Amino acid sequence: MKKFLLGALILALTIGISGYGTIKYQNRKHGPDVWAMFQAQDPTPVGKTGLFVIGLSTPEDFEPSWWYNIFSHIAHARIPWPARNFAMADNGIALMDPDRDYAREEFVPASLVDRMGRDRDMDSIPYIEKWRRGEVSWVPPRESIHLSTGYWLYTGRQDGIPSTAGKTIGYARLWYWGRGINGKKIPAEHQQNKVYDMAFGQLKRKYPDVLYHQADTMDLHEWRSEIFELLDSGVETLVLSSPMVVYSDYEDFDNGFKHSVEYIEEWVQANGRDIKIVVAPPMGHFKPIRDGYLLMLKDALDTLEPGVSVKMVWSVHGMPWSAMPNEHWLEMAPAYRDVLVEESKALLAQYDFSRVEVVVSQDHFADHYWDPEGESLATNKAYTDGVAAGFDHVLNLPIEFYNENSDTLFYHAMVNYENFPGYSVYEVIDYPKSAWNTPYTKRFEIDGTEIEYLGVPTGNRYRPFVAQAMFDAWDAILSGSWKNLTASNQ
């Protein structure tokens, strides 16, 4: 008996150790350590120089492949193996009621459509009829995404993509590019390109010999092709940059920059010519972008009466910090965020207000699931704390975004305005393309406190500051001056 128990114990330990080793192996990091490269790099370009800007921007029109790619990126970056296998499973066809695409509890649907808007299956039988037959089941919302919606699932056949990806695509089509906004277009790409036009214009004037391209991380073919085109032109140093205000591992070091380096290494192997790689600093390290946000704040403050009380909320997108404690965004953000906070305090001190307060909040992941101890200040709580404290005005600017995208217009709004009187997820956003050169703003009044979202720095008054900061980040490398500069004095 003792031998049997000993053998069972050894077997259990062997299985446990083997399983742990498998999990560690499956979740190992792949590819180059670009953060280490960035820290140790010699930033001085050598020879013919090119610039490649790689980042993320919500497309103006609905693109199912873009949403599939971003789903896949999230799943691989945030969900460890083997849980990722379940998240990526094709369990059937995700369906939604087009008149009730947002629902957190099961209901009786009037009709059902798939991710492409089709109301019937390949056999021509309507999905709603399959629901009546009991072939369609309700999938409740995920607890890990605050205020997420549920969906319906037909399991009679597979869809060819993960079911949760189908739900994401269908939701984006129905809400973001459907009933959610006038004109059924998202401003992000248009507003982003306006910034690029100005920044690249400065680049051409000062450095006419520097070649440049830009691509979106969700367009893998364009991404690789643009890099190869630059290298084929004879570039000897390729400067990598991102349009993100603060670099992160999630978007940049472990995604945009890492895969760019991998494409460069692929080209080097095929062509036998070494390429020097330099990573430019983030645009948030440079004063012009802070000046743009401060001008937006000043323009709002100038409309207020002397003697009122004002709370200023600077909000960041946020991350699930409990799952990403080593994220390098935490190391890079203070040079931008904390300096901006202090500059805004100095600006507020110039006004005759009775009381002022400045806080930094988080639009995403500051919720009961990811932050049960409330270590990060949710933007919704920053608002409601201002109401409870009796402030006359609570103002908000999202300091990581300079274009209105699917996050700022939809998900962040849904979370930030949770339980606000008069707010509904089904409210139509009145921000047509003719208005994209002015900030989109939103106002609420709760118990005598006016809460105002001031928008993003777009249009001729604010956009030049963003473009200048973007160019300054490139110029710091191309001019050879970055090694002599610190982040706080740009």
Q: What is the 3-state secondary structure (H, E, C) of 203-226?
A: HHHHCCCCEEEEEECCCHHHHHHH
Which residue from 219, 231, 236, 330 is spatially nearest to 276, judged by alpha carbons?
236
- The mean pLDDT value for 335-340 works out to 98
Torsional sign, CA 27, 33, 38, 43: negative
- The mean pLDDT value for 408-414 works out to 97
Task: List, as one string, the DSSP characters of 314-360.
Answer: EEE----TTT-TT-THHHHTHHHHHHHHHHHHHHHTTS--SEEEEEE
Other Cβ atoms less than 10 A from the Cβ of 148: the count is: 17
* Euclidean distance between CA atoms 166 and 387, whole angstroms: 39
Whether 334 has a pLDDT exceeding 80, the answer reads yes
Q: Report residue 405: phi and psi, to 5°.
A: -125, -170
* Euclidean distance between CA atoms 229 and 51, whole angstroms: 12
pLDDT tens string 51-110: 999 999 999 999 999 999 988 887 777 667 566 676 778 999 999 999 999 999 999 999
Write out the two tokens for 283. Answer: 């645009």
What local confidence, expressed as pLDDT, does residue 1 receive?
Answer: 57
What local confidence, expressed as pLDDT, does residue 24 receive?
Answer: 47
Secondary structure string (H, E, C) spanning 278-304: EECCCHHHCHHHHHHHHHHHHHHHCCC
pLDDT tens string 243-270: 999 999 999 999 999 999 999 999 999 9
What local confidence, expressed as pLDDT, does residue 151 receive?
Answer: 98
Whether 277 has a pLDDT exceeding 50, the answer reads yes
**Are 282 and 247 contacting, i.e. CB atoms less than 8 angstroms apart?**
yes
**Are 141 and 150 contacting, i.e. CB atoms less than 8 angstroms apart?**
yes
What local confidence, expressed as pLDDT, does residue 31 receive?
Answer: 77
Q: What is the DSSP letter of 93?
A: E
Q: What angle do CA 338, 343, 349 make, to 5 degrees?
A: 130
Q: How far apart are the first and last CA of the chain?
A: 74
How many whole angstroms from its chain centre is CA 359? Answer: 21
Task: State the pTM of this model.
Answer: 0.91
* SS3 label, residue 271: helix
Write out the two tokens for 339. Answer: 């300096």
What local confidence, expressed as pLDDT, does residue 25 receive?
Answer: 42
Average pLDDT, the chain: 92
Whether 481 has a pLDDT exceeding 50, the answer reads yes
pLDDT band at 338 (very low <50, low <70, confident <90, very high): very high
* SS3 label, residue 15: helix
What local confidence, expressed as pLDDT, does residue 29 receive?
Answer: 66
Q: How many helices (H) and strands (E) in the chain?
A: 16, 12
What local confidence, expressed as pLDDT, does residue 21 receive?
Answer: 54
CA 51 vs CA 130, 469, 471: distances in Å = 53, 16, 11
> Whose structure tokens read 């939103």?
442
- The mean pLDDT value for 170-183 works out to 96
- The mean pLDDT value for 229-242 works out to 98
Task: List, as one string, the DSSP characters of 129-162.
Answer: HHHHTT-EEEEPPPTTSTT---EEEE-SS--SS-
* Euclidean distance between CA atoms 250 and 444, whole angstroms: 33
Other Cβ atoms less than 10 A from the Cβ of 86: the count is: 11
* Euclidean distance between CA atoms 334 and 156, whole angstroms: 51
pLDDT band at 23 (very low <50, low <70, confident <90, very high): very low
* Euclidean distance between CA atoms 70 and 93, whole angstroms: 19
Whether 351 has a pLDDT exceeding 70, the answer reads yes
